[in-house]
Structure 1
Amino acid sequence: MTIHSTDPFAVPDGDKSPVRRLRGRLAAPVTLWTAPGPAGLTVSSVLVADGDPGRVLGLIDEESDFWDAASRAGRFAVTPLTPADRQLADRFAGLMPAPGGLFATGEWQQTAYGPVPAHAGAWAGCRLSAERPCGWALLVEAVVEEAFFPGPAAPLVHFRGRYAELTDR
């Protein structure tokens, strides 16, 4: 067996569409979206819009268990992940095995919006307000009903197909 320093299944840059190559050059926050059920999904195509009310927008796989649960419940939680959450991000992205289910390991805080990692430095409770097809996914829009900031936490980001962390805060 050989351990690769790169993803042996990754599509070479020259074979990717120009839009995918552009998206890969934009650093994106890595978040965990969870819903009652429970169900969850790692999401890096996300935007938070300030206003009255504040909103969260994200690109979600409409065939995911998360979307099924969130659309039924009409609510979900969004948690920004930290550099310590790389395996959690991979598990909920379907890139890592999850024996016993996605929520079988780690400590979880149960909320009306869905389970939230107990160690989360921030999370938001969101009410689903709209969705529409957008490219390969659904553009999901939600109103931020509650936001919690239990402690400081550095963000985990996704850049050019890899996780990265900010070194200057």
Structure 2
Amino acid sequence: MDPARFKAGMRHLAASVALVTTRHAGQRGGLTATAVCSVSADPPQILACVNKSASAHDPLGEAGIFCVNILAPAHRRIAERFAGMDGIEGDARFEGMGSWSTLVTGAPALAGCPVSFDCRLVARLAAGTHTIYVGEIVELALDPTARPLLYADGRFIAGDVLAG
């Protein structure tokens, strides 16, 4: 399969935009991801697929903790920064971007998200250019009034456009 053709096909898969964050050796790290999904309800688990070339890839695996923050439309600039669009990496990505706290694990949780899942890493699997990180959810912060930021066909979309 030609990688360009595969990527063209994947543009049709709309997904919530997530910020996967971690804290390792006193430094925060994170990346924007759309390859995130639930794994199990009992125990509660979620997975995130992280490109091995991402600056947060190794710290996430070494820390053994991460938080999956499902972004809201107001977080578009944060999504762009954590996608590496401005060249800023590591702890500097958090500066001047949103309001941050921690839940149980110490991984950064972003305020204003529809949901933030605080996780302990329980498994990882190498898969081509990515690592699949599976986390057991130990806590979550939920805002039932917030709507998700979506990504489809190479652009961001506010989740409320789907409401009928």
Q: State the TM-score, normalized to the length of structure 2.
A: 0.84
Shift of 1:113: 3.6
Query: Per the alignment, in what secondary structure is the counterpart of residue 94 of structure 2?
Result: coil
Larger radius of gyration: 1
> Is 1:126 matched with 2:136?
no
> Is 1:41 matched with 2:35?
no
Instruction: Report if aligned partners of 2:49, 2:131 keep a CA contact under 8 Å in 1.
Output: yes
2:92 aligns with: 101
Q: Return structure 1 stretches of 4+ with deviation > 3 angstroms.
A: 97-100
Shift of 1:116: 1.5
Identify the range of structure 1 (47-56 vs 84-93) with the bigger mean alpha-carbon deviation: 47-56
1:67 aligns with: 57
Larger strand percent: 2
Query: Per the alignment, in what secondary structure is the counterpart of residue 20 of structure 1?
Result: helix
Shift of 1:150: 3.7
1:83 aligns with: 73
Which ranges of structure 2 fall in alignment gaps of 5 or more residues? Answer: none
Q: State the TM-score, normalized to the length of structure 1.
A: 0.82
Shift of 1:147: 1.9
CA distance in 2, matches of 1:130, 1:49: 12
1:168 aligns with: 162
Structure 1 residues 97 and 64, CA, compared in 2 at 3 Å: closer, same or farther?
A: closer
Structure 1 residues 141 and 27, CA, compared in 2 at 3 Å: closer, same or farther?
A: same
CA distance in 2, matches of 1:141, 1:59: 9
Q: Letter of the 2:94 partner, please give it.
A: F
Instruction: Report if aligned partners of 1:87, 1:96 keep a CA contact under 8 Å in 2.
Output: no
2:19 aligns with: 32
User: 1:141-152 counterparts in 2 under 5 A?
Assistant: 141-152=134-145
Which ranges of structure 1 fall in alignment gaps of 5 or more residues? Answer: 1-14
Shift of 1:98: 4.2
Counterpart selection for 1:117 from 106, 110, 120: 110
Query: Per the alignment, in what secondary structure is the counterpart of residue 41 of structure 2?
Result: coil
Q: Percent identity?
A: 28
